[in-house]
Chain A
Amino acid sequence: AQSVTQPDIHITVSEGASLELRCNYSYGATPYLFWYVQSPGQGLQLLLKYFSGDTLVQGIKGFEAEFKRSQSSFNLRKPSVHWSDAAEYFCAVGNTNAGKSTFGDGTTLTVKP
């Protein structure tokens, strides 16, 4: 069975600091991996995705993620966090039908001024 673990429930960083959100997955085949962001009261917006190819993936809003097969990880990074990045972040793993994904429990990001 596929699963996703986001070890950090809540992370607080200062504005301008770097950010890394961790994601570990379990999947029987080559995974399709996603990071979504959710602002309060809103739906989920795709930040970036990995299907194949280059293991370093660039996304929107200055985010990037690196797929490491040996570590079963797909960590999300941003070099300099902005106050508007405060939100909940979800990692997901799926198959070719991308909506049928398994989601992690999410990491809530707080940004200090």
Chain B
Amino acid sequence: DAEITQSPRHKITETGRQVTLACHQTWNHNNMFWYRQDLGHGLRLIHYSYGVQDTNKGEVSDGYSVSRSNTEDLPLTLESAASSQTSVYFCASSQTGSEAFFGQGTRLTVV
């Protein structure tokens, strides 16, 4: 079965370190997205991609970057982790005109 997987599921890192969260989908979807979820804020869009070599900033993109070198993967990089980036991160993918499928999430703690 096709799926979308995130790794790691849990990560603790120190302030100032670079961190990369992985997202891999086997749906062959063109569109991929990264959200963060904080208590009381629902999901907020960080970055998104509509295809290989395409990336776009979302609502809360400061301090984050993504790259899309193939269809299956959209890694999210925190350039210099800050305590404000402690959150649960969700990756999603979709095909144009259809619903999004979400990964299980990565819980990131910055200490």
Which residues of A pack against B, CB within 8 Å? 4, 34, 36, 41-46, 49, 51, 90, 92, 96-106
Contacts A49-B99, A99-B100, A100-B31 known; A106 to B42 CB distance under 8 Å? yes
Q: How many A-B residue pairs have CB under 8 A?
A: 62
Q: Contact: A90 with B103, CB < 8 Å?
A: no
Count residues of chain B with CB under 8 A from any CB of chain A.
27
Q: Contact: B42 with A104, CB < 8 Å?
A: yes
Which residues of B pack against A, CB within 8 Å? 31-33, 35, 40-45, 48, 50, 58, 90, 92-94, 96-105
Partner of A103, one of B31, B40, B42, B48: B42
Q: How far does the alpha carbon of A86 sit from the alpha carbon of B99 in the complex, in Å?
A: 23
Partner of A99, one of B40, B93, B105: B93
Q: How far does the alpha carbon of A43 sit from the alpha carbon of B45 in the complex, in Å?
A: 15
Contacts of A49 in B (CB 8 A): 99
Q: Contact: B102 with A43, CB < 8 Å?
A: yes
Q: Contact: B41 with A99, CB < 8 Å?
A: no
Q: Contact: A43 with B98, CB < 8 Å?
A: no
Q: How far does the alpha carbon of A43 sit from the alpha carbon of B96 in the complex, in Å?
A: 21
Q: B22 → chain A, closest Cβ, in Å?
A: 15
